[in-house]
Chains A and B, each alone.
Chain A
Amino acid sequence: MIEIKLPILGENIIQGEVVKVFVSPGDKISKGQSIIELETDKAVIEIPASEEGIVSSVLAHESQVIRVGDPILILGESSVRGTKNELPLQKKSSSVLPQAISKMGPAARRLEQLKQTLPLSAQDFEKHGPVEKQKFSKLRRVISERTSLSWKIIPHVTQCEDASLTELVKLKKKLKVTLTPLIIKLLVKALQEEPRFNSSLIEEEQILILKKYFHIGVAIDTPEGLIVPVIRDGDKKTVKQINSELIDLSHRAQKRTLELSELEGSSFSLSNLGPIGGTYFTPLVRTPEVAVLGLGKAHEKLVKRRSKIITDLILPLSLSYDHRVIDGADAARFLIKIKNSIENPNGYSKK
Chain B
Amino acid sequence: MVIQKNKTQLAVLGAGPGGYHSAFRAADAGFEVTLIDTNRALGGACLHVGCIPSKTLLHLSELLDEKNYLTECGIDLGEPKINLSRLREYKNKVISQLSKGLSQLASKRKVRFYSGRGSFLDAHTLRLNDENGGEEHLSFDYAVVATGSRPFIPEAWHFESPFLMNSSRALDLEDVPQKFLVIGGGYIGLEIGSVYAALGSQVTLVEQLPTLLSQTDPDLVAPLRKKMEKKFSALYLSSRILSLNEIEGEIKVKIETLQGLKEEIFNKVLIAVGRIPNSSGLNLSATQVKLDKQGFIVVDPHQKTEEPHIFAIGDICPGPMLAHKASYEARIVVDNLKGNPARFDAKAIPCVVYTNPQIAWCGLTENEAKKLGQEVRVLTFPWIALGAAVSRGKTNGLTKIIVDPKNGQVKGAGITGHGAGDLIAEMVLAIEMGATATDLAMAIHPHPSLSESIMEASELYEGGSVHLFKQR
Contacts and interface: CB of A to CB of B under 8 A. Distances in A.
A95 B407 contact: no
B239 interface: no
Q: Looking at chain A's contact residues, is the secondary structure mostly helix, strand, loop, or mixed?
A: loop
B461 A96 contact: yes
B358 interface: no
Interface in A40-94: 88-89, 91-92
A contact residues, range = 20 to 34
B409 A119 contact: no
A89 B345 contact: no
B341 interface: yes
Nearest to A116: B341
A105 B463 CA distance: 27
A98 B408 contact: yes
Contacts of B340: 114
Contact of B345 (A95, A98, A113): A113
Given A105-B434, A109-B345, A96 B408 contact: yes
A89 B341 contact: no
A107 B431 CA distance: 13
Nearest to B429: A105
Nearest to B408: A96
Contacts of A100: 407
B436 A89 contact: no
A105 B433 contact: yes
Contacts, number: 50
A83 to B, nearest CB: 11
Contacts of A109: 345
B405 A96 contact: yes
A153 to B, nearest CB: 25
A245 B341 CA distance: 52
Interface in B441-464: 461-464
Nearest to B409: A101
Interface in B310-364: 340-343, 345-346
A213 B472 CA distance: 62
29 contacts: A88-B463, A88-B464, A88-B472, A91-B463, A91-B472, A96-B405, A96-B462, A97-B407, A98-B408, A98-B436, A100-B407, A101-B407, A101-B434, A102-B434, A103-B435, A104-B434, A105-B433, A105-B434, A106-B345, A106-B346, A109-B345, A113-B341, A113-B342, A113-B345, A114-B340, A114-B341, A117-B341, A118-B341, A119-B341
Given A88-B464, A101-B434, A113-B343, 12 more contacts: A88-B463, A88-B472, A92-B463, A95-B406, A96-B405, A96-B408, A98-B407, A100-B407, A101-B407, A105-B432, A113-B342, A117-B341
A-B pairs, top 10 by smallest CB distance, nearest first, are A103-B434, A99-B407, A105-B433, A89-B463, A117-B341, A88-B472, A99-B406, A106-B432, A101-B407, A98-B407
